[in-house]
Structure 1
């Protein structure tokens, strides 16, 4: 879709798309903010081209504030690449243009429409994946609703009839949770990057599993979230994370070897580490843009006052995803709650 109130500019983009794709594309024009959202209610698009100075309605006055607001809403609600085509790119919100999914092009420059189309083409892999993800989510949603929600609909709706109770949010949570279970059941293998949420969902406070970088040394929060949220924890417990692991490096080398037997040993070795064989350590896969794992050291703990930690949220680089957080906290609990026994003088066993 091209959100543009000048027909001539729409034709210029359409001509450039024809040059690249022939007739294998569909370009929809919206001439105002209102018109754009009417179209988005009916259709789904792989990408959006947007002029900055747009009218609210077809008879309204065009301004850049409207264009910036539209871009924010489209990114937030539809998650597609956006190419800004404007003669006033300086009016684009800096927060938007710093986003990798958005790029601004100056109409006053030569080959602007060609450059914009080329950039969209460069995002093809992401566009294809986004489309497949949406198809998968839609299919999984249908399965969950049909098998787990619809059979109990009378009971569910009866609850809402007893009082002023909005069912939308509870059903969203339930369907989202069941959808994850459904997808996991269909394919139990997870990508290493699924271990992390980047950036964290929680912007204004810390959360269990938050990973901070203090003086280039990583630490992960282990204090229960409920204690931090209710103010019961005045101090927060964190475990140091080391990144150097000779075992990991050795297994990765085997994994890259052309010898299939060595590859198998590499796979087995890495699974062994990620399945947590050492009680005092917990392996997490490498963070994005890193080759080294994060090894949580349960023996190396520090505490920081909660309020001081909140002041350092800019040093938070990631959060351990919920599906992997439970194992981390359970293993830490097992480590600190383990009990030993008195040492037995084994030489005496010979006299028994």
Structure 2
């Protein structure tokens, strides 16, 4: 039993009969937890307020929410307040979320802002919930480990650096420094984890998918005229709309066929060629970008950015055309390398040729 993963789930349900069904089903599940692959631990909430209170005092791996909830315990008036619980969930905690309801049409899907919110019909029974939890078990376990890792590293940094440095600032100002301290701590944790991993990253760390900033930014990957491009205009120009008249994008040559062929080979020669590709294929006019998977798990890339294939678009046109066609953006850790190589390519002067005489 001790080796079976434990999932903690918040169940938002107001009907006593349904709660009894849940309790019986969970007991039956946990009796044979080894076969099922996980043990289920749970808390119930009958109202929105109780659900929010539990979220502030507990850490859950997932939540299952009924849409029809009593406005307060004992109330006979039902509504669709479960939507507000889901909206709150996805705004405050990274976790699995399922809407389990007999009124699927009332699920405010557009407001969830996440395709990962699963909507299930009560008529199909509780088994689908257990199956959904098992299918996402690895994600939930990894997410819990991420939280534990962050807490461990932030604790080290807090006592060693953050507290000694910030206690004077917080004592000398009435300003709210919450976000400032949060950014500072996250920056420390990021570098600590990177150093602990030997400065080696996973390809997924290369990109924000979808892009996080609402504006166009250096390192944004876009589709333009049926080709893939990357924005290479300086960040300081893009940060202030109207500052520049043109925005530069560089063509991205996809090399997935060559990449896959080399990886499938496994020979020493193929490994050497892969290393050369990662080092921009030995060319100053190119910049290598790692492969990715989009939100639908479709493979994209890798690419070689072509610094000799640049398009300058009028700024107003670029903002109108490129913004809605962004599909990823380089994370801050990888933008400097792109900019440095792009600047180096265009700043090269060269020397005159020499006569053979």
TM-score (norm 2): 0.87
Counterparts of 1:182 and 1:294, CA distance in 2: 29
Aligned to 1:171: 181
> What's the Cα RMSD here?
2.1
Match of residue 145, structure 1, among 152, 158, 163: 158
Note the C-alpha offset of 1:7.
Answer: 1.5
Distance 1:177 1:266, change over 3 A: farther
Question: Residue 259 of structure 1 aligns with which residue?
Answer: none
Asked if 1 retains the 8 angstrom alpha-carbon contact of 2:65 and 2:98, the reply is yes
CA contact (8 A) 1:228 1:306 kept: no
**C-alpha distance in 2 between matches for 1:116 and 1:328:** 45
After superposition, the Cα gap between the structure-2 partners of 1:13 and 1:123, relative to the gap in structure 1 and judged at 3 Å, is: same
> Which residue, out of 79, 97, 100, partners 1:63?
79
- Counterpart residue number, 2:317: 308
The aligned residue for residue 108 of structure 2 is 93
Q: Does 1:243 align with 2:254?
A: yes
Q: How does 1:53-132 map to 2 (within 5 A)?
A: 53-58=68-73, 61-64=77-80, 66-95=81-110, 99-107=114-122, 109=123, 111-132=124-145
1:291 deviation in Å? 6.0
Identify, as 1 or 2, the structure richer in strand.
2
Which residue matches 1:189?
200
Q: CA deviation at 1:132?
A: 1.1
1:179–1:210 Cα change, 3 Å:
same
Alpha carbons 1:50, 1:67 under 8 Å: kept: yes
- 1:219 partnered with 2:229: yes
Q: Which sections of structure 1, spanning at least 5 residues, go unmatched?
A: 256-261
For residue 200 of structure 1, report the CA deviation from its aligned partner. 0.8
2: CA distance between counterparts of 1:123 and 1:15?
Answer: 22
Cα 1:272/1:5, change in 2 over 3 Å: same
Residues 66-97 of structure 1 show CA distances to partners (whole Å, capped at 9, x for unaligned) of: 21121011122112111211111100012267
TM-score by length of 1: 0.88
After TM superposition, list the pairs within 5 Å mapping 1:196-235 onto structure 2: 196-203=207-214, 205-230=215-240, 231-235=242-246
Aligned residues of 1:105 and 1:112 also touching (Cα < 8 A): no
Matched length: 333
Match of 1:43 among 58, 61, 80: 58
Q: 1:98/1:161 Cα in 2 relative to 1: closer, same or farther (>3 Å)?
A: closer
* 2:147 maps to 1:134: yes
1:279 aligns with 2:290: no
Q: Deviations over 1:138-167 (max 9, x none)?
A: 111112212221333xxx333334333222
Deviations 1:23-64 (A, max 9, x none): 732111011111011111111111111001224543664321
Alpha-carbon contact 2:246-2:315 (below 8 Å) kept = yes
* CA shift in 2, pair 1:105/1:97, >3 Å: farther
The range that moved more, 125-134 or 160-169, is: 160-169
Q: Is the 8 A contact 2:250 2:310 kept in 1?
A: yes
